[in-house]
Amino acid sequence: GAGVSQTPSNKVTEKGKYVELRCDPISGHTALYWYRQSLGQGPEFLIYFQGTGAADDSGLPNDRFFAVRPEGSVSTLKIQRTERGDSAVYLCASSLSPSGTDTQYFGPGTRLTVL
Amino acid sequence: AQKVTQAQTEISVVEKEDVTLDCVYETRDTTYYLFWYKQPPSGELVFLIRRNSFDEQNEISGRYSWNFQKSTSSFNFTITASQVVDSAVYFCALSGGYTGTASKLTFGTGTRLQVTL
């Protein structure tokens, strides 16, 4: 079946602008995760959803970052007043449940560049 | 807090050599899960294996094998007879087994493997 998909694959924006990154999880997966990967680093956890609710947003760096999953499927990561330091690859993953017994499968990522 | 250390930043081998990628982890959870992911130049993270903390049996899958040792908090990954297609960045990751920790993967910084002819 189809894997996790993310759009756009690349996003270039100017400092101060607002951006939205979209994630479409594997069908039937109730848990959805966002990670951020800076150059030369491993992915870092941002937030995860169980169904429609954000169950853990402890990884969001500040209040410019927000994510929603209104119908329990597609999720959107929103970044306000972007800064150059926000440039990174934003990865989305999904799993059957948030239990550690279920593997997280990753999408191809969105490369965000803030000029 | 959970931590994963991959001390090898980059490894270069010639095709057909065996190579071992090291992973050392720290956690206070008694139940936890360990993972290896591969990130080829295309960028997508590909799941390779998951182990739980109660199962220390080593695993072999084709040319890949994994050695899990709780006594040394290590989960090392060996590729036998490496091939050029194995060139990628490999990440070790850890998640907890309890609510609140189970859902976050903590990744190491990755090991870049370069296999040449």
> Chain B 28-67, CB below 8 Å of chain A: which residues?
31-33, 35, 37, 42-47, 50, 52
Q: Note whether B109 and B45 are within 8 A (CB).
A: no
Question: How far apart, in Å, are the Cα atoms of B66 and each of A80, B60, B110?
Answer: 43, 7, 16
Q: Which of A46, A73, A49, A74 is nearest to A59 (CA)?
A: A46
Q: With CB atoms and an 8 Å threshold, state whether B43 touches A55.
A: no
Contact B82, B13 (CB under 8 A): yes
Q: Residue A106: pLDDT band by 50, 70, 90 thresholds?
A: very high
- Is B101 a residue whose pLDDT tops 60? no
Q: How sure is the predictor about B100, in pLDDT bands with cuts at 50, 70 and 90?
A: low
pLDDT, tens digit (0-9, with 9 covering 90-100), for A2-59: 899 999 999 999 999 999 999 999 999 999 999 999 999 999 999 999 889 888 899 9
Among A97, A98, A106, which Cα is nearest to A36's? A106
So what's the pLDDT on residue B102? 61
pLDDT of residue B96: 80
Mean pLDDT of chain B: 91
Q: Looking at the predicted structure, is the pLDDT value of residue A63 above 70? A: yes
Greater confidence (B16 vs B42) lies with: B16
Q: What are the tens digits of pLDDT across the range B28-62?
A: 888 899 999 999 988 899 999 988 888 888 888 89
Q: What's the confidence (pLDDT) of residue B61? A: 87
pLDDT in tens, B54-93: 888 888 889 999 999 999 999 999 999 999 999 999 999 9
Beta bridge partners of A94: A32, A105
A48 touches chain B (CB under 8 A): yes
* Res B97: pLDDT: 66
Q: Determine the straight-line distance between the first and last CA of chain A, rounded to whole angstroms.
A: 37
Substitution target from B8, B45, B95, B98 for chain A, most A beta carbons within 10 A: B45
A65, A90 Cβ separation under 8 angstroms: no
Chain A residue at shortest CA distance from B93? A42
Between vectors from CA B103 to CA A43 and to CA B110, what angle results, nearest 5°?
25
Give the pLDDT confidence score for residue B16 in this predicted structure: 97
